[in-house]
Amino acid sequence: MFSGLVERVGSIQNVQTVTDSPSSVLTVFCEGWDALQEGESVSINGVCLTVTQFTASAFQVECSPTTLAITTLGILTPGQLVNLERAVTPSTRLGGHWVQGHVDTQGHVVRIETQGDARHVVFSFPSQYRPLIVPFGSITVDGVSLTVVQVDGETFQVTLIPYTQSHTTLGALHLHQAVNLEFDVLGKYVQQLCAPYLGTEQKVPHYGE
């Protein structure tokens, strides 16, 4: 479980295809993290992955075929910056919201507007996920917990404050860029629990890492 508050911006050091497998291994350069352990969960651009090896300045994770198909991790290249967060602990201040690291789908940047120091960014998303997005609710974009400012059938808008721009990769967003989206898990459970009473079926697919 994560909070969506990015702790470090790391960089992809190497992308290695696993022999005889559609999986791949990412080596991520990240300084300043102490006591990483094998088996620990780390969020990379909002995707929950397991540390398989680590050194003082880098760690490795393996991406399954499902992860590569649903998220943007399959198009990462060496040198590319990524948002990183370690799993929360019982004493962690939960400044964002409950983030599982189970990406639901990809979105794309369709508009960026600047107003003073703030940047208003509009993302497109598959319309079947519309019930899971509410104005002023929470959403996770590339691992960053953000507040939805506006939403319609196929787009939603967030506002990036200067701190978010300078401490995450979202400050470098550009038009048409693909991002990982995770919708609030509370909305998913409410939708599923209400479906039998409303005569609707669960139409939103989910996956787990």
State pLDDT tens for residues 140-198.
999 999 999 999 989 999 999 999 999 999 999 999 999 999 999 888 888 888 878 87
Is CATH 1.20.1250.20 correct for 8-86?
Answer: no
For the chain, domain boundaries = 8-86, 105-189
- Three-class SS of residue 10? strand
Tell me, what's the pLDDT at 180? 98
Residue type, 145: S
What is the reported pLDDT for 208?
42
Same fold, 8-86 and 105-189: yes
Strand order in the sheet with 138-141: 144-147, 138-141, 178-183, 105-115, 118-124, 155-160, 150-151
**Prediction pTM value:** 0.89
Q: What percent of the chain has pLDDT over 90?
A: 72
pLDDT at 209: 40
Residue 98 has pLDDT above 90, yes or no: no
Structure letter (DSSP) for residue 88 = P
C-alpha distances (whole Å) from 108 to each of 23, 38, 49, 61, 115 are: 24, 33, 22, 25, 21
Query: Which of 34-43, 80-89, 178-187, 199-208 shows the lowest per-residue confidence on average (mean pLDDT)?
Result: 199-208
Q: Given this model, what pLDDT does residue 62 score?
A: 94
Query: What is the chain's mean pLDDT, rounded?
Result: 90
Q: Return the CATH number of 105-189, one of 2.70.98.40, 3.40.630.30, 2.40.30.20, 2.60.120.260.
A: 2.40.30.20
Predicted confidence (pLDDT) per residue in 37-73, tens digit: 899 999 999 999 999 999 889 999 999 999 999 999 9
User: Percent of the chain beyond pLDDT 70?
Assistant: 95
| Cα 182 to Cα 142: distance, rounded to the nearest angstrom | 8
Can you tell me the mean pLDDT for 110-131? 96
Residue 187 or residue 122, greater confidence: 122
Pair of tokens at residue 126: 């598959």
